[in-house]
Amino acid sequence: MSNDIEQVLDYSFKNKELIREALTHKSFTGERRSVKHNERLEFLGDSVLGLVAAEYIYSKYPEVEEGVLSKIKSGLVSRHNLYLWASELDLGAYLALGAGEAATGGRTRESILSNAMEAVLGAVYLDGGFESVKNIINKWISTQSLTEVSSDYKSTLQEIVQKKYKSVPEYEVIQTVGPEHEKIFTVVVSSLKKELGRGRGKNKKLAEQDAAKNALENLKK
């Protein structure tokens, strides 16, 4: 079992007990008192993940204010995002759960999977050091759309534009098509008369968010 998860992680543990502990839920140890569960490793992994994510975002966005950086980091390391990562790795298949937890859907439960993901990162850190866990985390972060994890694109764009251009974004509806009950709005967002992006939506608010998202993508190019 440990060999399978090592292949998924692309990391080989020197101390196999660490990965076994990381994949052991508290409900399993309740039935086997001598077995360690993963909550301590989860605590450690949470801190390591936060540091690596913060360093990555800090380096990627050198002109972005602290408030925006915090928002991006919060979305990136959120429980739901960790759950999605764990699901991609099929981590639930490797978990040691108590019979009751396993019978009630524990292998696909968001809280259990996200916590286990943090525990696995904690185990890698203890086994291979900071660079080993950093490589795993950064490989995952590189697959994430960092603008996607912070859904308030307008606020994010405004903070960046204020910093970069010393102005605020301006939104303009340039087209409305479709019948009254199914209108589609097209919005352009600009700063200092320069178009930054454009977007579409079923109402002006959604179109503005889509335009802001497009602008953020353009600013990264």
Which pLDDT value is given to residue 89? 93
- Quick check: is 63 catalytic? no
What's phi and psi for 166, nearest 5 deg? 55, 40
Tens of each residue's pLDDT in the chain, 221 residues: 567 899 999 999 999 999 999 999 998 877 566 678 999 999 999 999 999 999 999 998 887 788 888 888 988 998 889 999 999 999 999 999 989 889 998 898 989 999 999 999 999 999 999 999 999 999 999 988 776 555 678 888 988 999 888 999 999 999 999 887 788 999 999 999 899 999 998 888 889 989 999 999 998 87
Which pLDDT value is given to residue 120? 98
- Quick check: is 118 catalytic? yes
- What ranges do the domains of the chain cover? 2-141, 153-220
CA distance 95 to 115: 11
What's the pTM? Answer: 0.68
218 is in an annotated binding site: no
For residue 74, the SS3 value is helix
The residue annotated as part of the active site, out of 46, 101, 127, 208, is 46
Residue labelled with tokens 């203890």: 126
Which pLDDT value is given to residue 117? 98
Closest CA to 23 of 11, 35, 31: 35
DSSP labels, 176-220: EES-GGG-EEEEEEEETTEEEEEEEESSHHHHHHHHHHHHHHHHH
The residue annotated as part of the active site, out of 17, 31, 110, 118, is 118
Which pLDDT value is given to residue 137? 98
Look at the chain and count its residues: 221
CATH architecture observed for domain 153-220: 2-Layer Sandwich (3.30)
Whether the Cβ atoms of residue 23 and residue 107 lie closer than 8 Å to each other: no
38 is in an annotated binding site: no
42 is in an annotated binding site: yes
Instruction: Match domain 2-141 to its CATH number in 1.10.287.110, 3.40.50.10470, 1.10.10.10, 1.10.1520.10.
Output: 1.10.1520.10
The 8-class DSSP code of residue 62 comes to T
